[in-house]
């Protein structure tokens, strides 16, 4: 259907016109055309859809949504649904949304900031009740300005917003302690005796990458260890990126005894890369991740990591998004180290 046909003749055709033409009640026509789950006989259905087609009727679904004011739907924007970190957050949001009688729709940006803005716009168009930005924020002025503008427009008309992580914008937020978790990891590895480290970094402008990286590096500095910039290599938060970064780091610095991957997905990639090259973990290299995604306990060796309460992050974000207060709120959630089998004191042979 072209816009011309729609904006001209078609919009004049009403549901009542369709019902009249089909010789059915308005209620029946509505049931057929508005997707009600209630049963309508095949004959009735055929007559109504035929009439709708003949008249080129377009259902006034959006006007209906407008009258209902909100769609009882929460829109969630994530970076990558196939990343278990987001999958767990979505599980938390979905559980709480179901309890609150809301439906959830998910938009996936694949880490493209421009697509994030498009989705905010789309969700506003769809009149969702609330938007949750579940992906990390960006330390980028232009992006923050554009996002603020979009979200303000949504909020000024009654839409609610909550974000997960540090976002540099004025919105209710649930923030896991990324800095503290990374600091604790650095101290833990230092106390085990490690002195030579490599960091498998996340995407550079993400606030989550920055906070984890800085927490780790600062704690090392406080222990008297200066990490050279070449000992930090991005793995883009992906499994294969983590594998490549691990190899690059160990080739650059054969003395490294401990690798910190900024998320578990990259740590699992690094683990596979080490195994392929016959480098034993933790005997030759200790490896730590971050997040404690469900699979972290199932790889061999099971991964030492920092537990981020992902599902709780989602649930709290939903609670913030559905409640309406003038005061901006930030919920801080603690993180904690989970020690498993991928870490050990450095062996005498490999400690540099």
Is 128:161 a contact under the CB 8 Å cutoff? no
Considering the complex, state which of residue 97 and residue 219 has its C-beta at the smaller distance from a second copy. Answer: 97
Give the 3-state secondary structure of residue 228: coil
Residues touching a second copy, count (CB under 8 A): 83
Considering the complex, state which of residue 4 and residue 327 has its C-beta at the smaller distance from a second copy. Answer: 4
Least distance from a second copy to the Cβ atom of residue 31, Å: 9
Residue whose structure tokens are 């800085």: 214
Is 197:225 a contact under the CB 8 Å cutoff? yes
Considering the complex, state which of residue 294 and residue 334 has its C-beta at the smaller distance from a second copy. Answer: 294
How many other β-carbons are positioned within 10 Å of the β-carbon of residue 92?
22
Residue whose structure tokens are 């905010």: 120
**Dihedral pair phi/psi, residue 101, rounded to 5°:** 70, 25
Q: Which stretch binds a second copy (CB under 8 A): 192-200, 221-229, 266-274, 282-290?
A: 266-274
Least distance from a second copy to the Cβ atom of residue 314, Å: 11
Q: Please report, as residue ranges, which positions from 109 to 128 form the binding site for a second copy (by CB under 8 A).
A: 110, 115, 117-122, 124-127
Q: Please report, as residue ranges, which positions from 30 to 69 form the binding site for a second copy (by CB under 8 A).
A: 32-37, 39-40, 45, 49, 52-53, 57-69
Q: Please report, as residue ranges, which positions from 65 to 104 form the binding site for a second copy (by CB under 8 A).
A: 65-69, 71, 73, 75, 80-84, 87-88, 90-91, 94, 98, 103-104
Considering the complex, state which of residue 147 and residue 182 has its C-beta at the smaller distance from a second copy. Answer: 147
Residue 223-252 contact track with a second copy, rule CB under 8 A, x = bound: ----------------x-------------
Considering the complex, state which of residue 126 and residue 330 has its C-beta at the smaller distance from a second copy. Answer: 126
CA 271 – CA 125 distance, rounded (Å)? 44
Which sign, positive or negative, has the C-alpha torsion 215, 147, 163, 295?
negative
CA 267 – CA 169 distance, rounded (Å)? 30
From residue 300, how far is each of 245, 250, 282, 294, 343 by CA, in Å?
20, 20, 10, 13, 12
Least distance from a second copy to the Cβ atom of residue 331, Å: 22
Considering the complex, state which of residue 146 and residue 231 has its C-beta at the smaller distance from a second copy. Answer: 146
Q: Which stretch binds a second copy (CB under 8 A): 144-152, 192-200, 253-261, 279-287?
A: 144-152
Q: Please report, as residue ranges, which positions from 275 to 294 form the binding site for a second copy (by CB under 8 A).
A: 294
CA 330 – CA 328 distance, rounded (Å)? 7
Considering the complex, state which of residue 1 and residue 348 has its C-beta at the smaller distance from a second copy. Answer: 1
> Closest Cα to residue 286, out of 349, 344, 202, 337?
344
CA 61 – CA 336 distance, rounded (Å)? 48
From residue 214, how far is each of 38, 190, 208, 222 by CA, in Å?
57, 16, 10, 12
Q: Please report, as residue ranges, which positions from 169 to 198 form the binding site for a second copy (by CB under 8 A).
A: none
Give the 3-state secondary structure of residue 109: coil
21 binds a second copy (CB under 8 A): no
Least distance from a second copy to the Cβ atom of residue 28, Å: 12
Instruction: Please pick, from the candidates 16, 23, 298, 324, the single residue that binds a second copy as defined by CB under 8 A.
Output: 298
CA 271 – CA 299 distance, rounded (Å)? 9
Least distance from a second copy to the Cβ atom of residue 225, Å: 30
Instruction: Please pick, from the candidates 15, 74, 138, 299, the single residue that binds a second copy as defined by CB under 8 A.
Output: 299
Considering the complex, state which of residue 183 and residue 239 has its C-beta at the smaller distance from a second copy. Answer: 239
82: which residues sit within 8 A by CB, 6+ positions away? none
């Amino acid at each position: 259907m072209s816009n011309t046909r729609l904006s001209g003749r078609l919009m004049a055709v009403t549901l009542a016109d369709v019902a009249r033409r089909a010789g059915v009640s308005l209620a029946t026509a509505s049931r057929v055309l508005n997707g009600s789950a209630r049963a309508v006989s095949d004959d009735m259905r055929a007559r109504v859809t035929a009439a709708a087609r003949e008249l080129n009727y377009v259902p006034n679904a959006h006007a209906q949504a407008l009258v209902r004011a909100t769609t009882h739907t929460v829109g969630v924007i994530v970076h990558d649904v196939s990343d278990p970190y987001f999958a767990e957050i979505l599980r938390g949001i979905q559980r709480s949304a179901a309890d609150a009688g809301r439906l959830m729709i998910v938009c996936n940006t694949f880490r493209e900031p421009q697509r994030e803005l498009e989705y905010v716009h789309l969700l506003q168009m769809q009149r969702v009740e609330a938007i949750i930005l579940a992906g990390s924020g960006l330390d980028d002025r232009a992006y923050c300005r554009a996002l603020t503008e979009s979200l303000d427009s949504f909020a000024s008309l009654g839409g609610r917003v909550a974000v997960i992580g540090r976002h540099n914008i004025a919105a209710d937020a649930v923030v896991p302690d990324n800095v503290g978790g990374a600091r604790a990891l650095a101290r833990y590895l230092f106390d085990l005796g490690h002195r030579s480290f490599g960091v498998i970094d996340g995407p550079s402008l993400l606030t989550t990458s920055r906070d984890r990286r800085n927490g780790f590096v600062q704690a090392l500095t406080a222990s008297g260890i200066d990490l050279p910039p070449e000992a930090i290599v991005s793995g883009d938060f992906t499994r294969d990126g983590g594998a490549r970064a691990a190899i690059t780091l160990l080739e650059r610095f054969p003395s490294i005894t401990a690798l910190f991957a900024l998320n578990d997905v990259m740590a699992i990639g690094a683990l596979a890369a080490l195994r392929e090259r016959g480098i034993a973990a933790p005997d030759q290299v200790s490896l730590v991740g971050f997040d404690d995604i469900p699979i972290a306990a199932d790889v061999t060796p099971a991964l030492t990591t920092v537990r981020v309460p992902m599902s709780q992050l989602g649930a709290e974000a939903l609670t913030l998004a559905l409640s309406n207060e003038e005061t901006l709120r930030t919920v801080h959630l603690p993180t904690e180290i989970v020690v498993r089998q991928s870490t050990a004191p450095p062996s005498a042979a490999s400690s540099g």
